[in-house]
Structure 1
């Protein structure tokens, strides 16, 4: 038998309203921290902080990748801050690709709504999992693992992703390697690519050095 005072305390904690805040709307005027954005004063929060209308707009795929991502993260929808969720729209034109990339802070669940996408990821043991997804198909990409999406078929593809963080983070491998000022000889050393190929890719992605 539990002591009566303990039972009363337990019952009180179950029935009493939570003292935790209902939400922590991001204050975008302050810098972000590893824990996310600081909270706005509740008196300044409006319904607009919980609404994002951009996911119905087709992204601009007129770029090197022929792909566009429209994020709905806490920077775009401040009400997501602290809730552990977010979303994004993915548009891939014919011949387009979202190259190997990673979301350091989140797992992703991708649902195809138009066209076909060859999607996959690489595990930390270098096992590869990939499959062509059609309208209505979905695939999960575990947190932090390299993954990709490639348009297939005869029409542009559209998909929507949900994430287990309001700020999933993003690092695209080709941009990380070839869109910065890392010296060409060093890139060659760490990638095993020859000089001509590294310089070609730096030119494509805008890198220097």
Structure 2
């Protein structure tokens, strides 16, 4: 076999391993159940004493309940991450249930720490994500029951129920705590606030428009 081919494959495998490790490292023990009472400063959450661990640390029983969608967006995200299931600590995975009222949306947002794979359980759901600069290409798909779409890590994405019935979806994410950054709040309602002049200049609108958006949010 050609030596250059072998070398290329070796580099590719090592590069892939480095990319995988760049996200969340594999645990070095069976589990590391999060101990919220610990004051230890670690990248993640400190481990509870294994002798005090029980099945409840790995259990959650809410996803059979429909989320309350009576809000501005008409959607509700029910998270199952390390905050709800301490046993997820260091395991690099989490879950959400998303309920959408008719015409409800899960507004544009990103997960800085995770790739998401979304599965529609009931209904029909137009979804999309936007590639990074400079192209910012919008990739969209209408998902039906049982269909899946992947939102790559860090990219802006959204979902919208364009039907007259409720829609339910489940999303799996490649992090115990993927984080979520909505597009509007960090820009328009940060603490302290970004100067209105900067917002107006960035979005090419009048300062009164920027101020109005800030007041709405």
With normalisation by structure 1, the TM-score equals 0.83
Q: Structure 1: any 5+ residue segments left out of the alignment?
A: 1-18
Deviations 1:136-180 (A, max 9, x none): 111000011111111111112110000011010100001222233
- Given that 2:33 and 2:86 are in contact with CA atoms closer than 8 Å, whether structure 1 keeps it comes out as yes
- Equivalent in the alignment of 1:203: 215
Question: Which has the higher Rg, Structure 1 or Structure 2?
Answer: 1
2:45 counterpart of 1:21:
no
How many Å apart are 1:194 and its aligned residue?
Answer: 2.6
Q: Which moved more, 1:183-192 or 1:133-142?
A: 183-192
1:142 to 143, 149, 152: 152
2:78 counterpart of 1:78:
no
Distance 1:96 1:196, change over 3 A: farther
Distance 1:156 1:118, change over 3 A: same
1:152 to 151, 158, 162: 162
Q: Provide the C-alpha distance between the structure 1 equivalents of 2:80 and 2:94, rounded to a whole number of angstroms.
A: 6
2:120 counterpart of 1:112:
yes
Q: Provide the C-alpha distance between the structure 2 equivalents of 1:192 and 1:95, rounded to a whole number of angstroms.
A: 29
Q: Structure 2: any 5+ residue segments left out of the alignment?
A: 1-26
Distance 1:50 1:175, change over 3 A: same
- Equivalent in the alignment of 1:14: none
- Given that 1:31 and 1:37 are in contact with CA atoms closer than 8 Å, whether structure 2 keeps it comes out as no
SS at match of 1:168: coil
Distance 1:20 1:52, change over 3 A: same
How many Å apart are 1:82 and its aligned residue?
Answer: 0.6
- Given that 2:35 and 2:48 are in contact with CA atoms closer than 8 Å, whether structure 1 keeps it comes out as yes
Q: Which moved more, 1:140-149 or 1:114-123?
A: 114-123
Q: Provide the C-alpha distance between the structure 2 equivalents of 1:127 and 1:34, rounded to a whole number of angstroms.
A: 38
Distance 1:110 1:158, change over 3 A: same
* Aligned pairs, number: 187
Distance 1:32 1:105, change over 3 A: farther
With normalisation by structure 2, the TM-score equals 0.80
Distance 1:154 1:31, change over 3 A: farther
- Equivalent in the alignment of 1:9: none
Q: CA RMSD in A?
A: 1.9
